[in-house]
Structure 1
Amino acid sequence: MPSISSSSSVNTSPATSGAAPGTAKAGGGAQGGGGVQSLERAFDLLERMADAGGEVGLSELSASSGLPLPTIHRLMRTLVSCGYVRQQPNRRYALGPRLIRLGESASRLLGTWARPYLAQLVEATGETANMALLDGDEVVYVAQVPSRHSMRMFTEVGRRVLPHSTGVGKALLAQVPSEEVRALLGRTGMPAATERTITEPDAFIAELERIRRAGYAVDDNEQEVGVRCLAVCVPDSPTAAAISISGPAGRVTESAQDKIIPVLQDVARQLSAALASTGSAS
């Protein structure tokens, strides 16, 4: 959650902590739309591996993709030789380390693409706007546009925090099955950042259910005293992402919230459409 800063000083806090698969196509060579089928199939397999948790067997990939085992084996051999997949001692295949650099670069670009939409949020609400991703068990902030107020929120881009006490973290975890959320909380714990922080798993799961029903998340003095944050997920984002506005509790009141939430949701839809268009072939 952002810290409060004035225009003359900046207060940074220390860190605390797929696209839907395509349908396999028969035949070989180039596609009618200009695509190369082997590339389409290779990326489809990588996405299926990610959906399966990052490690799969060839038979699982064949069953989910509909491709014959010899075709999958040939594609996986190529991905292994390039470092994008690695074969485990148990003969299963796992996502490889070369994907990390690609993912980090893509995350930075995601923040760049989001900035005009965050600026739109600042213009409409007057408060600092942020974008964050769920990376492992933590939330990482990838973009921010600050408020023009002299008293405003500031979060360093790249800052990592535990998700349970942040608006963006709650919005992101509301999209995750409850058993996975409980497992995450078991790994990270639920330290109290303030006396308002939710520190019991059952209470947090109930809060996520409320968020699913309402369509937005609230951090009400839970990460930092005197700060309120409103957040929503970016629908159909290529990676789980949320946007938020943050401001002093005296400005981001419950009455102001009723006006801000529809703006947040509308900008999230616009950003979703923009991200979808960047992935379309020209």
Structure 2
Amino acid sequence: MGNIARMGESLTRTPSTQTATSVGEKMLDVLSAAVVGARFADVVAQTGLPKATVHRILHQLVDLDFLVRDPSDRFAAGPAMLGLAGRTLNSLDVATVAHPVAVDLAREVDCTIHVGAESGEEVVYLVRQDASKPYRMRSRVGSSMAMHSSGMGKAILATWPRERVIEYAHSTGLPSRTVHTITDLDSLLAELDEISRTGYALDLGENEGGTVCVAVGIADTFGRVSYALSISTIELEYAGRTISELAPHARAAAAEIARRLGR
């Protein structure tokens, strides 16, 4: 906490014509621009700030260990920044981050919203937000389902290297959940290619008879798709592939969750 406190002190020691808030915003802009390995000129160009201002702020950030400067004159995250990032990631609760987005989406489309996480060869439900309608899905937060029989699972599988998908198929045997479950490798690979092309996955009664969903993967802080979001309902409302009409809503919500996770 010492470096953060010193950073706060540096923000308050400003000329009377400049507020601490404006200086703080500039410092954060410079830090955001520099932390990706940028040079001085890159930071100036990205922030649009005067060179003298950028130079002064960079010097402060290096002095506070939020940045380091390498021999090629590029800046990178310093020990204080890395420590802060590590503590943030350790305390990050994806369910807490995703829940308000799921609430808004359920209100928007009036369908059940799920957010799940990859867990070995399964997807675990982290969030379930019900629609206003009287029917209820069988899903429960904390329960799991097979990757290949669910929309969320297939959205994640579609980002895996083909070799890993083949290993998954051989390991699990692609067991059937319903008469519509994909149970052979060639069909699964073809389905995953289609998901990669369209950007969303469908579950047409493959995991639970009479229900359909559209799902989109969610990138985590490191850009890996280890989470997914789905919009689910009964087949009587969205017969066949018409559930795909809600794909733009799923994409927007998944992108918002990813943004809140730091992507």
Query: TM-score scaled by structure 1?
Result: 0.61
Structure 1 residue ranges without an equivalent (≥5): 1-20, 47-101, 278-282
Q: Deviations over 1:68-98 (max 9, x none)?
A: xxxxxxxxxxxxxxxxxxxxxxxxxxxxxxx
C-alpha deviation, 1:270, in angstroms: 1.6
Contact 1:229 1:247 in 2 (8 A): yes
Q: Does 1:202 align with 2:181?
A: no
Decide whether aligned partners of structure 1 residues 274 and 186 sit closer, same or farther in structure 2, where only a CA change above 3 A counts: same
Change in Cα spacing, 1:124 to 1:254, as seen in structure 2 (3 Å) is: farther
Alignment of 1:1-282 (within 5 A): 30-32=65-67, 37-38=78-79, 106=92, 109-235=93-219, 237-238=221-222, 240-254=226-240, 256-276=242-262
Residues 19-59 of structure 1 deviation map (CA, whole Å, 9 limit, x = unaligned)? xx976xxx9982349x9834666899x9xxxxxxxxxxxxx
- After superposition, what is the alpha-carbon deviation per residue over 1:150-202, rounded to whole angstroms, capped at 9, x for unaligned? 01324111112210100000000001011101111211221101111100011
Aligned-partner Cα distance in 1 for 2:181–2:119: 21
1:252 Cα deviation after fit: 2.5
More helix by share: 2
CA distance in 1, matches of 2:189, 2:249: 26
Of the two structures, which has the highest relative contact order with CA contacts closer than 8 Å and spacing of 6 or more? 1
2:47 is aligned to: none
Distance across 2 between alignment mates of 1:174 and 1:153 = 25
Cα 1:247–1:272 change in 2 (3 A) is: same
Task: For residue 133 of structure 1, give the secondary structure of its aligned residue in structure 2.
Answer: strand
What is the CA-CA distance between 1:251 and the residue it aligns to? Answer: 1.0
RMSD between superposed Cα atoms in Å: 3.2
Q: TM-score, normalised by structure 2?
A: 0.65
Aligned partners of 2:115, 2:134: CA distance in 1, in Å?
21
AA aligned to 1:110 is V
Partner of 1:79: none
In 2 relative to 1, CA 123–254 (structure 1 residues): closer, same or farther, beyond 3 Å?
A: farther
SS of residue matched to 2:136: strand
Q: How far off is 1:148 after superposition?
A: 1.3
Q: Distance in 1 between matches of 2:83 and 2:172?
A: 34
Larger radius of gyration: 2
Give the Cα separation in 1 of the matches to 2:77 and 2:144.
38
Change (3 A) 1:228 1:131: same
Counting aligned pairs with the same residue, the percent is 30
> Match of 2:142, as an amino acid?
G
Distance 1:223 1:257 in 2: 15
Off by >2 Å, runs of 4+ in structure 1: 35-44, 235-239, 252-259
Aligned pair count reads 197
